[in-house]
Amino acid sequence: MNEELLMVAFLGFFSGYILKTIIHGLKTFTAVASFVQKTGYQSLTLLGTSVYKISYVDQLCVIALEKAGKTEEAKKLRLENQQQFDEWKKMIVEEFRENYPENYKWQLDFDDWNGMMEELTNIYKEKKI
């Protein structure tokens, strides 16, 4: 009888330990997923702000050249800025996706710049940050 009681106690302890480990693992995964998602939202917000300000400054430079009567230089600058901007946007999306933690990539709902900006719009609308 004592051996059976000892075996039941051992199995009960072992089952409880396994259950506690599973629950703790799930809570940790959920907490980290929330942290990663909020950090991603903040990064997207920072990118959105940077893009707005960079494009604003670029436009000011082009306008200043046009007002100075250098329309040909303004056209060249506008094309050059647009080309650099397009390359930069592509690189940002690739880097963001590559460096996002592998276990949490299911959170990403975009794979291009337009999708990223739609996600940013949703973040602003739903005030997720």
pLDDT in tens, 67-126: 888 888 888 989 998 999 889 989 999 999 999 999 898 988 888 999 999 998 888 888
Write out pLDDT tens, residues 51-68: 889 889 989 988 998 888
Domain boundaries, the chain: 69-129
Asked if residue 1 has pLDDT above 70, the reply is no
3-state secondary structure of 116: helix
How many Cα atoms are found within 13 Å in the side-chain-facing hemisphere of 93?
Answer: 18
How far apart are the C-alpha atoms of 55 and 21, rounded to whole Å?
50
Q: How far is CA 15 from CA 21, 27, 29, 120, in A?
A: 10, 18, 21, 45
**pTM of the shown model:** 0.72
Mean of pLDDT values over 6-31: 91
